[in-house]
Structure 1
Amino acid sequence: MQIYLVGGAVRDAWLGRPPGDRDWVVVGATPEALLAQGYLAVGKDFPVFLHPRTHEEYALARTERKTAPGYRGFAVHAAPDVTLEQDLARRDLTINAIAAPADSVSASGQFLINSENLIDPYGGQQDLRDKVLRHVTLAFREDPVRILRVARFAARFTDFSVAAETLALMREMVDAGEVDALVPERVWQELARGLMEVQPSRMFEVLRDCGALARLLPEVAALWGVPQRADYHPEIDTGVHLMMVLDMAARLQAPLPVRFACLTHDLGKATTPADVLPRHIGHEARSAQLLKGVCQRLRVPTDCRELADVVAREHGNIHRGMEFGASATLRLLERCDALRKPQRFADALLACECDARGRLGLHDSAYPQRPHWLQALAAAQSVATEVVAREAQAKGLQGKDIGGLVHAARVAALRNSGMAA
């Protein structure tokens, strides 16, 4: 039995990046042998075991054979005669197909990355030096999830390029309909991880280059080539603007719901009638409607879906909000449910800041609307609603009449605070 550290842990150590999860491959063993040593079997589709002490994953070396479309259509063969090189051949990228013997790895995961101990049959170290994302073998085309993974790695390793032959292979897979067989949960998982990388725009650029974006997110793909008013958007192209907004969200270290809201806030601009371009009157409502389809199709989590809806509907009003009177200010706070969900409203404001600064030449501009709206919310929250309600009840008022008095008190608080025009 031989044990090897493989995949991202080796790659990241080579690059000098912080270590993540460690994955191990076991060669020359059977499930029974690992169980006898106290390992716990957890794999459903192929033999994976948890170490009895560290609880790290150990997988038996295996090969795979394509049996059906999609990423689940595989027959797995794991046996003592499967070699390490055969196991590495089924991996996605050469930079992820490097292994290190277990006895060369310390408990912290450190090892001599330039030593002869590294097993690198597919040139992963050279591709790390050359900063290239390259598929290992033609087995790459059997798993469409790898298209998403390559795009995600492009967003993480921002100075790496996708090898021309790998991009061509990805296009062939898209043309063959492999992407169409992906299940929504897996698509969302990879998109969400890519959105959280250091330069998420690169993920969408790669997906667009290979044709996968038009299959997975046609509402987003349609934004390229859609013009905008140059006085508001010097970058003009809506798709270009969208990528700048995403990268601004990464720069501001926004959480996932904010980044998803940034991705989907302008979907409606692709449906603006040609005779009114480059103006996009009413695109907010159209964006919110298109967003519903995206969220249903990809089964987007509730927190991401709800925030994206608020941003899609209200980002234009939030941008203009410093011109609002007290009543209009409160109506927006109520539409956003800001009084009940202040953190979600704060996230919406962050997404709007990303939108405002995600424009050519405006990356370092101030966004005074964000502190303005937070102060307006604080003013509305300062009203002691229970006191207003008690006084109203003492006068014999009920239901909507009490609500009207609370509303009026909040409008007065906004006007008195100077937070409304």
Structure 2
Amino acid sequence: MLSRFTNSILLLSCLAPSVCWSGPDDVQINGFIGLGYMHESANNFVSLEKDEQEIIDIGLRFSYDFNSQFSATGQLGYRRFSDYANDHGPRVDYAQLSYLTSLFNNSEQIISIGRVKNQLGLYNLARDVPTGRNSIILPQSAYLEFLRNLFLSTDGISFSSNTFLDKGVLSASFSYGRVNIDENFSKNMLGDFTSGDWSNKQNLVADVRFSNEKFKIGVSYNDIEPHYNAANDDLIPFIPIGTYINGIDGQLGMQSYFAYAQIYWKQFEFSTEYTYRNVNANGFTAGQALNRSLEGYYAQLNYLKSAQLSLTLRFEQFYRLAKYKHGVVTPFFTFEPYYNNSRTLSFGAVYNFNDSWSIMADIHFVKGSGFLAPFATPVEETIEKKSWTLTAIQAVYNF
């Protein structure tokens, strides 16, 4: 592990001096390069075939201000994070034209078009930037890693508003358009043996929050409704574990609800989120429509020990099938609770050497396999391991 990580640091040191660029005041180009290593003691968060992988996380951001009201912003990214979250090439995280105005006193409004970022929960807006979060791996109870690109942005239009009140800022944002489905989506949702495509990819996002120097509270909503066009040779995992059946066209509906809060006190930051997702699947396989609810929550304490060092402690619980929190027993199959549930205790640390260099590390002690891909049903290796650990370390250079 140390040799892999050391090689990544050396590579990062070589790359860093060559990417800095300066231009006119109204043009900004910056970004980040993050290289690291991830290891799992069991299961398939990283892969079915291996238990370790190098982390590559690169982003190049630009912004241009046409004047005080019109601007253009975007980010080109590339990420290798696991077999379920590897980009096959450069990816446009977002690219939007924005107009800033004020429709009434003590307020500002922004209208954006293009590939716009989604405001969901506490961390979705900043999850594409390594130093924008407290840990390398976000709480999977709210931010499923294998669906990261699905929730990050929308191809369409967004409207946001900030109203500055005596006690704080009341903010609201809405976006509507087409969901950004990448090459990994079918694999993560339906398994390895599907090759169809997706159409009619409607996406609606809404968020309302209130914040001040002491706390932040808010709620978010997301509705995704893509249609799946099956390939002739599609095979979808089924029950009992290890069984596959022929796939057909299908319609997926996923409604996600977030409720979140963050409290600031001295050097401490306490965060918590509750997430509920209702998933309806019509088609995909012959038989009745599937209705499934996912539920999760976490509590997280972040301690800013100094300007350089922050420490994180987190507990979370996730249910793949919220209706069956204590397992499922039917005449046809049995799911023990740990197949369906995941309980995770996490420790993390971030050390900032200066404005450019940071190092992040976290370890997660997991009991259960509920948040692992594919979504359709657990795979054989997954259900054999009840308790497992996930560790990650990453060096980040910001320029």
TM-score normalised over the length of structure 1: 0.27
From the two aligned structures, give the one with the greater helix fraction.
Answer: 1
From the two aligned structures, give the one with the greater strand fraction.
Answer: 2
Greater radius of gyration (CA): 1
TM-score normalised over the length of structure 2: 0.28
